[in-house]
Amino acid sequence: MVLINAEPRNFLHWLVNVKLSRIVVMVLAILILTPLITHFYLSKVERNVSSITHNAHSHLDLPENVDVKEIDLRVGVEELVRIRGSVLSELRDIEKKRQQFKQELQTYSKNIEELKTELAHHQTNLNRLKISVEQAQVAMHEALEQNTPDLALPKKLTPDSLPHILPPIPRNRSRNCRMFSCFDHSRCSLTSGFPIYLYDPDQHAVMNEGWDVDGFLKTTLKQVLGYNPHLTQNPKEACVFLVLVGEALKDTDDVTENIGNHLNLPPLDSEALKRLPYWGGDGRNHILLNLARRDLSAINGDIFSSVDTGRAILVQSTFYHDYFRPNFDLIVSPVLGPPGGDVWHECSHMVPSRRKYLLTFQGEMKINKAYITKKQLVFVDEELEKENTELNNFILEHLKQLANTHTSDKFLFDFECVPASDDSMNMGPQDWALCGTDSSRMSVLKESTFALIFAPSSIEYVSTTLLQARVYEALRSGAIPVILGGDQVKLAYSEVIQWKRVAIFLPKARVTELHFVLRTIPDEDILLFRRQGRLIWERYLASVQSTLDTIVAVLRDRLNIPPLPADTVAAVSVFNDTFQPILVLATGDVEQEESLGPLEPPYNSPAYRRNYSLGLTQGHEMWNDWGDPFRLYAALPMDPILPSDAKFVGSGRGFRPIGNGQGGAGKEFSDALGGNNPREQFTIILLTYEREQVLIDSIARLRGLPYLHSVVVIWNSPRLPSPELRWPDIGAPVHIIKAARNSLNNRFLPLENLQTEAVLSVDDDAHLRHDEILFGFRVWREHRDRIVGFPGRFHAWDLNTKNSWLYNSNYSCELSMVLTGAAFLHRYYLHLYWKWLPQAIRDKVDEYMNCEDIAMNFLVSHITKKPPVKVTSRWTFRCLGCPQSLSEDDTHFQERHKCINFFSQVFGYTPLLNTQYRADSILFKTRIPHDKQKCFKFI
């Protein structure tokens, strides 16, 4: 960059001004004096000619030499004519020179204006460089004052030996096991990554003769665990060891045949457990998985209750109170879903909030013949059991009366139905059996606002498979579970899941208040319950994959070991390692009339700073709201911010307050980012397909853009760019990434070379001014969890069909979407788009080659429960002369209508929310003094 010295420039201006003044004086003198002299001379000649003519006619007698005088007169007239022609020629020459001087004057004026513009541009660049130097000095000062260096990624520390053999512990001690007393923490360092080892159930069978593990579960679990990133094949480095115990089935097809003959022979062989090669004598760090697909508790009960399991952690659905060890053993949901994949089609729609029935129940009281034999395993208080039985009978009678009450609320209670199978029996003296088929129960639950679920009839149980299965079915159908006897039981993963946001727990003694409690819940809270229930069901219960991942995540969470980093997509360049693209200096209208910020070298956003504290401070939010407990992300849009005074007292590193904390107008505003977050930059993602010159022009317009970290171009075309293509040098790195296939979903690829939290997604034909981009960036920094951008759209209700949505781009005072053709969003949502969003939505995007921006708006609004933020008043961003875009086709809008309605079906509701405001800059319409500058001149 060339900097102009102030003194030579002033001399140049003076010199130009003096020269122009002399030229102007000469031109004026010629233009004024020449006509006067000519007029005087011609007048004199004319008077002489007139005098001679007058004398000739006045006197009759002429002199003798009159002929001579006539000749002289003729000669004089000819001379005058010649002189006149000469004068006219001189006048024409003078006019020509005047026009030349005029053109020169215009040229000099134009040069003066160009010099002034160039001076302003250099002044702007000089200001930017000054700001950049100041920011670099601040960064250097911060680095020098830093007491400790930034933590690098720690080295993975894992054990390198098998568990030592220790003597077994007595059973009375194992029943009091807790993590601090029965778990070997030395094998699970914070940086270990929580490696887990799975015993092959075919090679290490632990079942007694006559029992076997469900073949489906055995095969599926081995397959599903193979996808878990924590699985290791090296037992020496393992933190925990998984043993697949159940679901235990008898070899005979009739699982209820000869029940009594097998009660004395438990399914689990304790000696086989001790023979496991890494049992270590006492089973420490072993996880015994007794997963179930059906309720066989009447046959198996708690299969661990009569077996010495040492220090192993027990994981199952059925537990006695006397044998359950809180925060050591783990209650899980039965494995009722598919192995994996999309499960959205199994869910019902979340609206309307109130359904046909207020409360439903389908079940029949059954006498459990096996209970009399089983009860010897636990201590049973006969008096309490008698009182509990009487209370159950009272509840049954009250519910029958409630169903016959004359009220506008509808109830469906089926207490005398044909049970689905005898497997539905529980272990109490009497309990509720499931009725009908899965499809018939589902149809009733989908019409139920609330689903009544009874706690186990016997008070000896903290959980049963039947209880967990009923909760699973209710959540899958969108019915809110109402657990009668909820103070008696625990639900799956209760140490991390906030079940009070999902289900209603009511003591049995308060059954008479049941109707009143349900009527007090408004529609808003009903939908909150239903939405939260669907989130829990989809994330932790819906499939075998989610169940296994949740079990591993809960155990890891207990030890406060962070999950493994989220996967990224390899950024494969379209150029090979030896090819050097041709770079040319970007030209065109890229300069700005105002200094917008410093020109800095690329600065990566700090990453993975909260690995070991995130689960402590925001653990419940991770499990129950926006978080993902299965993966670790470089940063989250919901990361906490410091209070204002912390930036100046103790925690000021990285912050760039405006005016060093004193504030200020436009000048001070452009010098620093300000805001509530430390300094950062943004990455621009451009998706392109066979529009090379349009792409080149778009990149060229980015030259000199402050806070720009890099530009990532996703090359969606199978035809690679021409080697002769000249790429503009914009002062920031430009990466050309080859997409695996042509898909609009590639716009949101979580590429490995994205090094900033802020991502600006831009169409290759969008034309944004620098000040618009920077204003959008500053607004996004205050709304990091939302989409912040320029083109606003909204979803409108179809008044003709009255049962569907329409996509609308007309002028409106409300909007619900900001298109990602020109919008800022957090890098976190790119991961969610590919890892959390149902595959059916991405398939629909590929089918229509459309709607990826609508899908991202659905996702972000679903996570945040907030609308997007629109900035500035611009309505279109298409460039003139560009090839026709997809949005100009009428079918484009028809497909977007269909997309909104399909996405609503997948989500179970429409998460888009309306907003009625846009963001404009402070001081935009404020009168300010002449010595002050607005934040942005045109925004």
pLDDT (tens digit, 9 = 90+) per residue, 681-709? 999 999 999 889 999 999 999 998 999 99
Of 440 and 850, the structure prediction assigns the larger pLDDT to 850
Of 456 and 787, the structure prediction assigns the larger pLDDT to 787
Q: Which two tokens stand for residue 658?
A: 């405006």
The pair phi, psi for residue 762, each rounded to 5°, is: -135, 135
- Give the closest residue to 558 by CA, choosing from 240, 241, 198: 240
Helix (H) or strand (E) holding 271: helix 270-274
- Give the closest residue to 355 by CA, choosing from 478, 259, 257, 248: 478
Write the burial class of residue 242 (CB in 10 Å: 0-12 exposed, 13-18 middle, 19+ buried): buried
| Residue 727 DSSP SS3 | strand
Q: Which residues of 512-550 are buried (b: 16+ CB within 10 A; e: fewer)?
A: eebbeebeebeeeebbbbbbbbbbbbbbbbbbbbbbbbb
Q: How many other CB atoms are found less than 10 A from the CB of residue 347? A: 21
Q: Prior bond to 247 cis, omega within 30?
A: yes
Question: Cβ distance 288 to 304 under 8 Å?
Answer: yes
Q: Which residues of 804-817 are buried (b: 16+ CB within 10 A; e: fewer)?
A: ebbbbbeeeeebbb
**Residues near 790 by beta carbon (within 8 Å), at least 6 away in sequence:** 768, 772, 776, 818, 822, 823, 870, 871, 872, 874, 877
What is the number of H-type helices and E-type strands within the chain?
A: 23, 28
Of 453 and 890, the structure prediction assigns the larger pLDDT to 453
Rounded to whole angstroms, the Cα distance separating 808 from 524 reads 27
Q: If you average pLDDT over each of 244-253, 374-383, 696-705, which comes out highest?
A: 696-705
- Give the closest residue to 639 by CA, choosing from 670, 596, 608, 595: 608
Instruction: Report in angstroms the alpha-carbon separations of 28 from 88, 89, 94, 450, 668.
Output: 18, 19, 11, 98, 49
pLDDT for residue 212 is more than 70: yes
Q: Which two tokens stand for residue 503?
A: 């289900």
Of 860 and 769, the structure prediction assigns the larger pLDDT to 860
Report the DSSP beta bridge partners of residue 759: 683, 825
Which residues are annotated as catalytic? Answer: 853
Question: Cβ distance 761 to 788 under 8 Å?
Answer: no
Residue 441's pLDDT band (cuts 50, 70, 90): confident
What would the pLDDT profile of 507-526 be if each residue is shown by its tens digit? Answer: 999 999 999 999 999 999 99
What would the pLDDT profile of 292-334 be if each residue is shown by its tens digit? Answer: 877 655 555 678 888 889 999 999 999 999 899 999 999 999 9
Question: Cβ distance 913 to 786 under 8 Å?
Answer: no
CATH fold label, 344-542: Rossmann fold (3.40.50)
CATH entry, 582-641+677-919, from 3.90.550.10, 2.40.30.10, 3.40.50.720, 3.40.50.300 = 3.90.550.10
What's this model's pTM, rounded to 2 decimal places? Answer: 0.83
What would the pLDDT profile of 860-907 be if each residue is shown by its tens digit? Answer: 999 999 999 999 876 445 544 444 454 556 788 999 999 999 999 999
pLDDT for residue 730 is more than 60: yes
Q: In this predicted structure, what is the pLDDT of residue 592?
A: 57
Rounded to whole angstroms, the Cα distance separating 23 from 26 reads 5
Write the burial class of residue 608 (CB in 10 Å: 0-12 exposed, 13-18 middle, 19+ buried): middle
Strand 448-454 and strand 430-434: the pairing is unpaired
- Give the closest residue to 885 by CA, choosing from 873, 876, 872, 898: 876
pLDDT for residue 712 is more than 70: yes
Residue 931's pLDDT band (cuts 50, 70, 90): confident
- Catalogue the long-range contacts made by 620-627 (C-beta closer than 8 Å, 24 or more residues apart): 620/496, 620/498, 623/496, 623/497, 623/498, 624/497, 624/498, 624/501, 624/532, 624/535, 624/536, 626/785, 626/863, 626/864
Domain layout of the chain by residue ranges? 6-50+74-143, 171-331, 344-542, 582-641+677-919
Mean pLDDT of 561-568: 94
What would the pLDDT profile of 652-688 be if each residue is shown by its tens digit? Answer: 888 989 998 999 988 889 889 999 999 999 999 999 9
Which of 169-183, 435-449, 752-766, 889-903 has the lowest average pLDDT? Answer: 435-449
Percentage of residues of the chain with pLDDT beyond 70: 82
Which of 11-20, 137-146, 396-405 has the lowest average pLDDT? Answer: 11-20
Mean pLDDT estimate for the chain = 84
User: How many Å separate Cα 589 from the centre of its chain?
Assistant: 33
